[in-house]
Amino acid sequence: MSDALATAMAVLDDYMAALNRGDEPGVNDACNFPHVRLAGGKVVVWPNHGDYKLGDFIARAGDGWDHSKWDERTAIHVGKKKVHLKVKFSRWRRDDSLIGRFETIYIVTLQDGNWGIQARSSFAD
């Protein structure tokens, strides 16, 4: 595994861990900005670090969302400063009942010495 790919995977792990513990600063730390999300027929751009709010995520995550898991993470393209990943993730309730599984493309970039998720194109709402 290349250094860039290993780093991108670690960024995704950090993002998911922060999301699941409700750590908004940690979620923002796992992203590069401006951050772009294409999903549900909408394009959302968070211009600055700190603009990604967990309340917005929870509002769209599904009834009773408690945590999410990576189901698949496959490299599509790997460069020295950018990695494209095909991912599948699932959302779960506290009782471990499934809310849904979603396919997404994540783009992880190196900006000013920081690796972070720059953009996502998802079939999730």
**Residue-wise pLDDT tens digits, 78-108:** 999 999 999 999 999 999 999 999 999 999 9
Q: What is the pLDDT along the chain (125 residues), one digit of tens a residue?
A: 789 999 999 999 999 999 999 999 999 999 999 999 998 889 999 999 999 999 989 988 888 999 999 999 999 999 999 999 999 999 999 999 999 999 999 999 999 999 999 999 988 76
pTM of the model: 0.93
Helix residue spans in the chain (DSSP H): 3-20, 24-29, 54-61
Q: How many domains does the chain have?
A: 1
Q: What is the CATH number of the domain that holds 93?
A: 3.10.450.50
Parent domain of 46: 3-122
